[in-house]
Structures are given as structure tokens and as C-alpha cells.
Amino acid sequence: MTFKNQVIYQIYPKSYLDTTGNGVGDLRGIISKLDYLADLGIDMVWLNPIYPSPQRDNGYDISDYVSIDPVFGTMSDFEELIQEGKKRGIDFMLDMVLNHVSTKHEWFQKALAGDPYYQDFFFIQDEPTDWVSKFGGSAWAPFGDTGKYYLHLFDVTQADLNWRNENVRKELFDVVNFWREKGLHGFRFDVINLIGKDALLKSNPVNEGKPEYTDKPLTHDYLQMLNAASFGKDAESVTVGEMSSTTIDNCILYSRPDRQELSMTFNFHHLKVDYANAQKWTKSPFDFAQLKHLFHTWGEKMSEGQGWNALFWNNHDQPRAINRFIDYKNFRVKGATMLAASIHLSRGTPYIYMGEEIAMIDPDFKSMSDYVDVESVNAYQALLDAGHTPEQAFEIIQIKSRDNSRTPMQWDNTANAGFSTGTPWLATGNHAEINVENEQSGEVYQFYKQLIQLRKSDQLISDGTYQAAYQDAEHIYAFIREFEGRQLLVLTNFSNQVIDFELLADFVDSEILINNYATHQPNQLQPYQAIAFTI
Ligand code: GLC
């Protein structure tokens, strides 16, 4: 088995299942749902950070890399999770946040106390640059009372680590090896294309300073070192780099096998097609032509360059794709299955974000007090400061907040969706009808199962090349996969209308491999239909 025929399922541990009644999901909750995950057919579970953390950025502010935060359970719960997973053919992928640490981490605390050895773990400068933090405001904060500044590309409590320092690299490689020794094969590296920074950081007004620290050539060197010192020793390893504002050329280098960097990369260009003027905190319909162009360009170039994409519509940082790309009030089910087919039949490794397999939608939160995410809270204030009315600002938060996907997993229609007997850390969404109990025998879940099985049973899907098709069709996204003389044509209708099209001559005598409708009208696609033909 390779990562090419695997499907990875992402769990936001805080929100999966709470077995203690404290309102926060935990490892034992995940253990109790392994049979559910095995039934779905997934190979690996990616867990968002479960390490001790002040939780200022929900665990992405790590204060100890090699322990389990007691809120999630103990190390022995974790070991049991790994063992129980193995029994069911499920491996785990841990989230490695190696670009920054919490300012509560002992390295930063020692640096603050004046230890020069640890001060060199961070970027500390006399003069801040003009870079903007990804969560708003300056990317620099005063370093104690030294008169100097330290870099934090994210929250002020997330200090960037200086990878130029080989002691830092050694510490971080040891972290990865610590978890490998627990029997782990999967690693997701958080914002990893930001680690290759210059010795002296300089101002740059372009794009909030991003060109100064994103995808720098040194990043590739560091990834090769990380690979050689840790997961590269393991033939079964599956690694994915989260790449912020990246390019195709770099992603080919990050993921091409002979480079020995990573198995695959996440990029986010396709999830910015509903930004007005490239700004996230805006309200705008999505641009289908742009979405399609991005999918085709990335699909073809990664295929030609032998790079490998991580394919996804949802994660813990994104509002639910059904709300963004589908007329979900009328076509939630067909829309969900169409979105699934559009990536699961494509070239790359598909990721399912918890609840996607039952077509969960964004919650209907009514006030700012329902939101807890630091980025959303900052953005609301920034929108008000920019002159929006509270109503306008709130409308934008409602559609863009990361909390949209972080609401508790919806298991049943009882209080708190069966997630917790206590008060959930984040309110639950619309679980009266959309819940596992209702949906497991339904169309969406069953369609996901079918797609997962197809990837395992047919190399055309796991290994075929990617080529764009029907580029000029207004509402259709389509592509052709090819493997050892066989071909697969995948057609998806991204509209709520019936669309006429002409089947490519080569496929006139083809077989239907999968269809999210029970029947098929020749040369016509139903609203949100997804259909694939093989020859
Ligand atoms: C990544 C994570 C996000 C986090 C950020 C900082 O983008 O996915 O949740 O806030 O990195 O670690």
C-alpha cells in the first residue's frame, strides 16, 4: 500500500467525542469511534494537535511537544489508540507544528530569562520589519523588557523558531522521532514552507511581507534534513506539508519522490475563489471559472512534474465547502456527493474532514459570543475598525469563521448532538436531522464508502495521470485520468441546473464507473450530478 491509494480522515480532537463530560473531545472518544471509521474504510486518521498547550490557537501553540494534554487523556490512552487503530487497519497522522512554539514553552521562557543559547532559538531583532501577522497586526512583539522584538507570524503567543540554528533542528527532529517510536507513520507539518527564513529579516511592503519568508530555497534543504533524520527511514511513512501561499513549482519539489522531502502538499488556492480582492474577510460568490482553472493547472502540472497533491474541500480552518460552493438549501445531498467525486476521483490523496461524510453544514450562530476562534475575534474587531457596521461584520464572520468547521461532530439528535453530556466548548450546529444515526445508511455516507473502495481497487484512480477536459463548458468541471491504456472521464456539474453536453467521442461506448444519481440521461447532467465513464 502506498499513500496513493489511501484516504485520510481528519479529526479535530476537541470536537469529536467527549467521554468525560468536560465539554472537550478526548482520545477515548476517538477510540470508541474506531469501528465507525473502519466501516467508512479510511486508512489513516490525522489528529489536530493533542499536546500540552495554552490553547490560545487551539493547540497550534504547543508548550510541550512530547506529551499529551491532559484535557485529551494520557499517553497510555494515546498508545491504546494506536494499538486499537492497528487492529482495524487504521494508522495515525500527527500534527507537527514546527514553525513556532507557544511562548509558554520552556525554550521561550529560558530565552526570556536571558539565556543566549535559547535566545538563538528565535528571531529576535532590534528593529521589527513591516510584516503583518497572519492573525492581524504586526508580526513582531516586544521581547520582554530588552527593547528588542521577537517574530510571531501567527498569534503573539506563537514565537517563530529559528531553523538556521542546528540545535533547533536537532530538537525538532528528535520530536518527530519520539512519535515515530510510538509506532506512528503519518505526519502533517503545519505551515512548513515558512521555515526557511533569512538570517536578517527585512521589510517588504509586498503582500504583507510574505515573499520574504515563504517558500525560500532553504526550506527544501531543511525538509531533506528532516526526512533523512526521521520519517525517511520508514518505508511506510506518509507525510504532508501544509503550504501557505505556495507555488506549483515549489510543491513539485516538496513532493517529487526523488527529492526526498515529503509525500504530498496541501495548498489553498482553490479555497480563495470566494475572496473579494484576495481578501478573506469579505463576502462574495465563488468564481467557478477560477476554481476550475486552478484545479486544472495544479492537476496537470503536478501530474507532469510527478508531484503529489493532498486533495481536500474541508479542514479545521475552512468553513464547510457545502455552504460555499453548493445551493445547499435545495441540493445538500447531491452537492455533497458531487464535491466528493470531484476530488476522490482525481490525482492525489483525498482527505475527509470529520462530518463531511454526513454532509454537515456550517452552524447557524446568532451572535459573536458563540465564536471562540482567535482569528475570528480579531477579524471582527478589524472589520469594525475598518468602518463596517456590527451587522455587516457579523455576516462576514458567519460565512468565513474557522469555527464553522470546528463545531462538535453530530452523532445523533439528542442534546449536544451526542457529543458531550456537559457543555460543549463550542456550540453544536444543526444536528436535528444531520447526524450519523440518520445519515450512515444514507446517500452521502454510502457514496463516500464507494469512492474510498474504488481508489483501493482501481489503479486508474490511484495512479492515473490527470488531464483537463471540457475546459470551456460553463458549469462543468471535468478531467481524464489515464493508466496503462485505460481511461476514466469524470464529469461534475457545479450548478443547480440541468446542463446539456456532448459526450467525448472516445467515451460513447464506455461503462459507467460511478454516478451520484440512480439513472443517467445521455448528454445531460442533472443538478450537481457527478458521473465517471471508463474505457
Ligand atoms: C495552520 C493551522 C491553523 C493554525 C496555524 C498556525 O494554518 O492549520 O489552524 O492556526 O497553522 O499554527
Give me the tens of pLDDT residue by residue for the chain, a chain 535 residues long: 479 999 999 999 999 999 999 999 999 999 999 999 999 999 999 999 999 999 999 999 999 999 999 999 999 999 999 999 999 999 999 999 999 999 999 999 999 999 999 999 999 999 999 999 999 999 999 999 999 999 999 999 999 999 999 999 999 999 999 999 999 999 999 999 999 999 889 999 999 999 999 999 999 999 999 999 999 999 999 999 999 999 999 999 999 999 999 999 999 999 999 999 999 999 999 999 999 999 999 999 999 999 999 999 999 999 999 999 999 999 999 999 999 999 999 999 999 999 999 999 999 999 999 999 999 999 999 999 999 999 999 999 999 999 999 999 999 999 999 999 999 999 999 999 999 999 999 999 999 999 999 999 999 999 999 999 999 999 999 999 999 999 999 999 999 999 999 999 999 999 999 999 999 999 999 999 999 999 9
Burial bucket for residue 426 (CB in 10 Å: 0-12, 13-18, 19+): buried
Give the ligand 1 atom nearest the CA of 244: 7
Residue 412 known to be catalytic: no
Among 423, 455, 487, the domain boundary falls at 455
State whether 38 and 57 are in the same domain: yes
End-to-end CA distance of the chain: 25
> Which residue's C-alpha comes closest to atom 6 of ligand 1?
60
State whether 310 and 425 are in the same domain: yes
> Which residue's C-alpha comes closest to atom 9 of ligand 1?
317
Best residue for ligand 1 mutational test, from 15, 95, 99, 191 (most atoms within 8 Å of Cβ): 191
> Which residue's C-alpha comes closest to atom 7 of ligand 1?
191
Give the ligand 1 atom nearest the CA of 375: 10
Q: Alpha-carbon distance 160 to 139, whole Å? A: 10
Q: Which residues lie below 8 Å from residue 282, measured CB to CB, with a gap of 6+?
A: 275, 276, 396
> Which residue's C-alpha comes closest to atom 5 of ligand 1?
60
Burial bucket for residue 217 (CB in 10 Å: 0-12, 13-18, 19+): exposed
State whether 509 and 528 are in the same domain: yes
User: What spacing in Å lies between the alpha carbon of 388 and ligand 1's midpoint?
Assistant: 27
State whether 411 and 398 are in the same domain: no
Among 455, 488, 522, the domain boundary falls at 455
Q: Which residues line ligand 1 (CB under 6 A)?
A: 57, 60, 97, 154, 190-191, 242, 316-317
Best residue for ligand 1 mutational test, from 60, 188, 242 (most atoms within 8 Å of Cβ): 60
361-390: string of b/e by CB count within 10 Å (b at 16+)? Answer: bbbebeebebbbbbbbbbbbeebeeeebee
State whether 234 and 336 are in the same domain: yes
Angle at 161 between CA 221 and CA 65, to 5 degrees: 100
Angle at 224 between CA 220 and CA 229, to 5 degrees: 150
State whether 304 and 265 are in the same domain: yes
According to DSSP, residue 358 is labeled: G
Catalytic residue among 242, 357, 373, 403: 242
State whether 10 and 148 are in the same domain: no
User: What spacing in Å lies between the alpha carbon of 179 and ligand 1's midpoint?
Assistant: 20
Give the ligand 1 atom nearest the CA of 60: 12
Among 430, 455, 480, the domain boundary falls at 455
Are residues 187 and 117 in contact, defined by beta-carbon separation less than 8 angstroms? no
State whether 185 and 229 are in the same domain: yes
> Which residue's C-alpha comes closest to atom 12 of ligand 1?
60
Angle at 192 between CA 157 and CA 133, to 5 degrees: 40
User: What spacing in Å lies between the alpha carbon of 406 and ligand 1's midpoint?
Assistant: 13
Q: How far is CA 480 from CA 265, 325, 423, 464, 517, in A?
A: 22, 22, 48, 9, 20
User: What spacing in Å lies between the alpha carbon of 220 and ligand 1's midpoint?
Assistant: 20
Which stretches does DSSP call E strand in 243-291?
264-266
Q: What is the pLDDT of residue 1?
A: 44
User: What spacing in Å lies between the alpha carbon of 223 and ligand 1's midpoint?
Assistant: 19
Q: Which residue has the cell 477579524?
A: 379
Taking phi over 0 as left and psi of -120 to 50 as alpha, with beta for the rest, 480 belongs to beta
- The CATH code of the domain that includes 321 is 3.20.20.80
Q: What is the pLDDT of residue 2?
A: 79
Q: Alpha-carbon distance 100 to 104, whole Å? A: 12
Best residue for ligand 1 mutational test, from 190, 265, 316, 374 (most atoms within 8 Å of Cβ): 190
User: What spacing in Å lies between the alpha carbon of 482 and ligand 1's midpoint?
Assistant: 35
Residue 212 known to be catalytic: no
Q: Alpha-carbon distance 384 to 249, whole Å? A: 39
In order, the DSSP letters of 192-250 are: GGG----SS-----GGGGGGGTSS-HHHHHHHHHHHHHTGGG-TT-EEEEE-TT--HHH
Using only the alpha carbons of the chain, give its radius of gyration.
Answer: 23
Q: Domain of 471?
A: 463-534
Q: Alpha-carbon distance 135 to 509, whole Å? A: 53
Q: Alpha-carbon distance 175 to 501, whole Å? A: 53
- The CATH code of the domain that includes 140 is 3.90.400.10
Q: Alpha-carbon distance 254 to 205, whole Å? A: 27
Q: How many domains does the chain have?
A: 4
Catalytic residue among 190, 261, 357, 458: 190
State whether 125 and 229 are in the same domain: no
State whether 53 and 155 are in the same domain: no
Q: Alpha-carbon distance 280 to 56, whole Å? A: 21
State whether 285 and 177 are in the same domain: yes
Q: Alpha-carbon distance 325 to 126, whole Å? A: 46
State whether 212 and 283 are in the same domain: yes
Give the ligand 1 atom nearest the CA of 154: 6
Give the ligand 1 atom nearest the CA of 61: 12
> Which residue's C-alpha comes closest to atom 4 of ligand 1?
60
User: What spacing in Å lies between the alpha carbon of 187 and ligand 1's midpoint?
Assistant: 15
User: What spacing in Å lies between the alpha carbon of 465 and ligand 1's midpoint?
Assistant: 31
| Residue 28: HSE in the Cβ half-sphere, 13 Å Cα cutoff | 12
pTM of the model: 0.96
Question: Which H helix or E strand runs over 117?
Answer: helix 116-119
